[in-house]
Amino acid sequence: MKLIRKSTNETVQLEDGFLWTDEFDWKPIEQKLERSISGEAIIQEGLKQSGRPISLEPADQNTGWIKLRDLRMVRDWAVLHERYIIQFEQQHDTRQFEVIFNHEAGALEAKPVLGIPAVSLDDYYNVTLRFLELENAD
């Protein structure tokens, strides 16, 4: 999986151990039901244009790793008002999505894999990344 910064085409390679935990929670139809004075249903509904959450979480403690050097880059990107591409790179899944970081849900969480402070930029961190899909980049 890759995270690509659209404005510069810089890329951070992400390990394949992430699960898209809220992939099937998205409800693309927004609906509101009210009742008239006579009890008749008044239904308003519309198709959501964007905002689908994409939460990438480690499947377990042995997956979802990223090196400290790449984590620092992703952290720096998270505070920019820019768009990114999440690109899946599995044989059965090559989708890509245009996203921004989801700060409301906690855009980035990271803990050292070894449970101690890093001593090298090559040390690994267990990471959760949260995004919001904008327009599908397929």
* 9-50 per-position pLDDT tens digit: 999 999 878 999 999 999 999 999 999 999 999 999 999 889
* 64-111 per-position pLDDT tens digit: 899 999 999 999 999 999 999 999 998 899 999 999 999 999 999 999
Task: Please answer whether residues 84 and 99 qualify as being in contact, where contact means their C-beta atoms are separated by less than 8 angstroms.
Answer: yes
Which residue, 134, 136, 130, is CA-closest to 22? 130
Tokens of 53: 């959450």
On the CB side of 125, CA atoms within 13 Å amount to 21
Q: How far apart are CA 63 and CA 67, in angstroms?
A: 12
pLDDT at 62: 86
Q: How far apart are CA 118 and CA 3, in angstroms?
A: 23
